[in-house]
Amino acid sequence: MKIYSLKCPNCGATLTTDVKNNFAKCQYCGNEFRISEDTEADEKHPSREKEKDAAENKAKEPGKNPVTQKENASPEKRKTSRVRDIIIVFLIVTAGLALSLLFDKEKPQDIVPKTDLHRFFMELRPDNTAKDVESLAQKHKLRYFRTEKMVNSETANVIYYKVAKTNETVLNKQGEHAETVEIEFDMTKGNAFKLAAYTDPEHITARALLFKYGTYYSLSAENPETNEFAGYYYYNNSLRSAAGEQSTHPPYLKCQNAAEALKKIYTYKK
């Protein structure tokens, strides 16, 4: 005869009793119950029964099985949860973009391409000498051509420079397809700086000028409209008016600096 330590399935009392023909009787409530192989195994290993009870109790506790709860949630609750998740993600992304803009201190890029020829033109000054022009061209690794020519005179009265990126351009072998800066010095006034014109073949009718005095087409320093001072100008040949109307519709516009004059070339629409 075997003596078992059992728990009554009817009243839950713990008993120590003998078993006859695989049946036991509760001494408290009188309930008779069969002893199975599982009961025998649990009796030999009581810890298994405790583990089983703990697992069953954990499954019954609220909030301990989120997967089951989420699956059992109503459609309205699942929809509300998805909306909340989307709002949280949206707020995080918005906050990130706001912080990025707040701490981004990079200045807007200039619309004028900063090529060596641009830098050369922007560094020219009305008090430059011919030697200064040559030194400045060498500084920016540009090529130049120098000659003396006649302008409204029977004898040479202007020192003329053509500055570009290649020898082919300054020698007019590629003059129609490249940017250039043309400079004049007045030989009759002690080789004084007269003007510099920046020309881009893509905007052939418009030029940026560093103008000191004299006449450049309809632009004249003797004209009160130009304030009779040296400075930078945006000149657009397509805006020229009929003879005698230059003061009403002048083809030039005085600029604050070389950069502004260059910008107007690149923003000009044909």
> What is the residue whose two structure tokens read 């893509």?
202
C-beta of residue 138 within 8 angstroms of C-beta of residue 120 = no
Q: Please give the torsion angle defined by the CA atoms of residues 194, 196, 201 and 203, in that order, rounded to the nearest 10 degrees.
A: -90
| pLDDT greater than 70 at residue 52 | no
| Rounded distance between C-alpha atoms, residue 194 and residue 139, angstroms | 22
Q: Are 2 and 43 in contact (CB under 8 A)?
A: no
Tell me what pLDDT residue 146 has. 93
Q: What average pLDDT does this structure show over 211-230?
A: 70
More confident residue, 264 or 269: 264
For 153, the token pair is 């005179």
pLDDT band at 202 (very low <50, low <70, confident <90, very high): confident
Q: Where are the domains of the chain?
A: 2-60, 73-103, 116-267
| CB 187, CB 156: distance < 8 Å | yes
The one-letter amino acid at 235: Y
pTM given for the model: 0.56
Q: Is 197 within 8 Å of 215 (Cβ atoms)?
A: no
Rounded (10°) angle between helices 37-44 and 46-60: 100
| 93: its two tokens | 């992304």
Q: Give the integer Cα–Cα distance in Å for 131 and 193.
A: 11
Terminal Cα distance for the chain, rounded:
114
